[in-house]
Chain A
Amino acid sequence: MGLYLRYIRLLLKSQLQYRASFAMTVLTQFLTPFAAFFGIYLLFERFGSIEGWTVYEVFLCFAIIGASFSTSTCIARGFDVFPNMIKNAGFDRFLVRPRGTIIQVLGSGFDIKRIGHLIQAIIVLIIAISGVKISWNIIKIFTLVNMIIGGACIFSGVYMLQAALAFWTVEGLEIANILTNGVREYASYPLDIFPKWITRFFTFIIPFSLVNYLPLKALLGHYSEHLIFYMLLPLVGILFIFPCILAWNFGVKHYCSTGS
């Protein structure tokens, strides 16, 4: 942990060296999801609702996914860009150091600029919470926080899987883009507006609905029974990270360097 904090301190220092560029990127990180947010607002202005969901409920969904996504791209950025490291054989350096590979990859890519996106998500979260009718109590707040953490874990897990696959494919996989950027974009809406097979895929394969859609319905009072069950689902989402760690370790064992 101490090592990880030191990594972060170094990266922070280097990223803050170029102030103007830093500020510009943070602003972009803020504005891009803001445009998406504005788009959702405009669509609701035209259509009123989507399959019975109101605009504030969708904002809540959007904000939670946004917060998860930005947190994971901030922390697990190293795994996102990892295929490059395979290509230029930079990973060899990690292997000769007497430390775990995961912590080194995490430490290689902590990206503080994503804070712009996180701030945007928090602002939308506040707007959404002020607009939806939820009687908040400690369990619901706990669920909400877990949803964000669980989502961040799944996104990070997908990044890890993609990085692990790169041990075989060398090239980064564009398909993984669907599971990260695609989810960020479309899981901003409640999953039941999509066909059943999509909902099933995101429940049982890549369990985004466990941290987003299902507990969200519980928060909004759509279920009359098993409330606690739905509210505890995000914890299962957090567990998703463990098989991904296994896959990563499996990949590392099979690593053949591309360098000379």
Chain B
Amino acid sequence: MKPYISALRVRYLNGLQYRAAALGGLTTQLFWGLMRIFLYNAFYKSGGQPPTMNFPELVSYIWLQQAFLAIIMLYDWDYELFDMITSGNISYELCRPCNLYGFWYVKLLSKRLASATLRFSPIILISLLLPTPYRLTLPHNIMSLLLFLVTMLLGSLLLVAISMLIYISVFKTMSPVGSMAFFGILGEFFSGMLIPIPLMPEWLQRICYIMPFRWTSDLPFRIYSGNISVSQGLMSIGVQILWIFVLVSMGLAMMKRITKRIVIQGG
């Protein structure tokens, strides 16, 4: 366990160095969040109140998306790993005395956590201070806040487990372009990043619920705003753990099979 923890620490500290990039990202994310809220505001004013999600809940949903973007966006790929596979530098990684899956998993997780650490607090802070219709509201009770934190953490573990499958697939395809694009769009849509899941039609929501993507971000955000009740939220923790278990064991098995007969590229 120890090498993984130290890898997590080193990568995390390394990721914290990119402060200027985080500042640039911050402005863009604030702009996107604000524009999105303006847009939905216009929609909400035009039609009847959609029964599935009221406006303050939607505003929280959008701000949390922006604040935790670094954790929840599947398409934030680590090109270093792709390069390693296609250039043959993977051989160095294989020499390490730890499991490749575990090592990469920790690497990806720490990078996302570091990037999120730099960004989430200013966005949360600013969005809490905005005037009323655009403001991020505090959760109703301490229980939903706690549950939000737990599901968010599990959600980030799940997201990395999903992304690992895509990195592993590159061993077979040797070009990340296809799976990156395909899963990027799929993940964005079915996790409610494009439009919030409660605003989708019933049949589409049902598809979202049977896929893993929505459990990474849609769930914690709706728990935070009270759109999903605490008791319902408690049950979904089980679903999250189940998905993590299934996807991690799938990834481990795939990685094991692939590294057994790996072809090192380059010379």
Contact = CB atoms under 8 A, between A and B. Distances in A.
Contact of B46 (A31, A49, A175, A182): A49
Given A35-B185, A175-B27, A186-B35, A51 B42 contact: yes
A109 to B, nearest CB: 18
The secondary-structure label for the interface of chain A is helix
A21 to B, nearest CB: 5
B182 to A, nearest CB: 8
B31 interface: yes
Interface stretch (A38-46, A90-98, A143-151): A38-46
Interface string B192-222: 0011000111001000000000000000000
Contact of A42 (B20, B31, B204): B204
Contacts of B31: 178, 182
A28 B177 CA distance: 9
A189 interface: yes
B166 to A, nearest CB: 14
Nearest to A174: B24
Interface string B106-148: 0000000000000000000000000000000000000000000
A35 B43 contact: no
A174 B35 contact: no
A175 B47 contact: no
* Best-surrounded residue of B32, B46, B50, B204 (most CB of chain A within 10 A): B46
B88 interface: no
A47 B50 contact: yes
B47 to A, nearest CB: 3
Given A27-B181, A35-B189, A193 B38 contact: yes
B179 to A, nearest CB: 10
Size class of A's contact patch? 35 or more
A193 B40 CA distance: 10
Contact of A24 (B28, B45, B181): B181
Interface string A171-211: 10111011000100110010001110010000000000000
Interface in A34-89: 35-36, 38-39, 42-43, 45-52
A174 B25 contact: yes
Contacts of B199: 42-43, 46
Given A28-B181, A42-B200, A194 B50 contact: no
A46 B46 CA distance: 11
Contacts of A31: 181, 185
A39 B200 CA distance: 9
Contacts of A1: none
A182 B35 contact: yes
A25 interface: yes
B95 interface: no
Interface in B76-92: none
Nearest to A25: B177
A49 B43 CA distance: 7
A32 B185 contact: yes
Contacts of B25: 174
Nearest to A48: B47
B91 to A, nearest CB: 24
Nearest to B50: A46
Contacts of A45: 201
Contacts of A21: 175, 177
Interface in A130-186: 171, 173-175, 177-178, 182, 185-186
B178 A24 contact: yes
Interface in B8-39: 20-21, 24-25, 27-28, 31-32, 35, 38-39
A162 B13 CA distance: 31
B181 A50 contact: no
Nearest to B188: A35
A20 interface: yes
A186 B28 CA distance: 13
A107 B189 CA distance: 35
A115 to B, nearest CB: 16
B39 A24 contact: no
Nearest to A29: B181
Which of B25, B38, B43 has the largest number of chain A CB atoms within 10 A? Answer: B43
A32 to B, nearest CB: 6
A51 B177 contact: no
Given A31-B185, A193-B38, A194-B35, A47 B194 contact: no
18 contacts: A24-B178, A25-B177, A25-B181, A28-B177, A39-B195, A42-B200, A42-B204, A46-B47, A46-B199, A47-B44, A48-B47, A50-B42, A51-B45, A174-B24, A174-B25, A175-B24, A189-B42, A198-B38
Given A28-B185, A35-B188, 12 more contacts: A20-B175, A21-B175, A27-B181, A28-B181, A39-B194, A42-B204, A43-B199, A46-B199, A47-B44, A47-B50, A51-B42, A178-B28
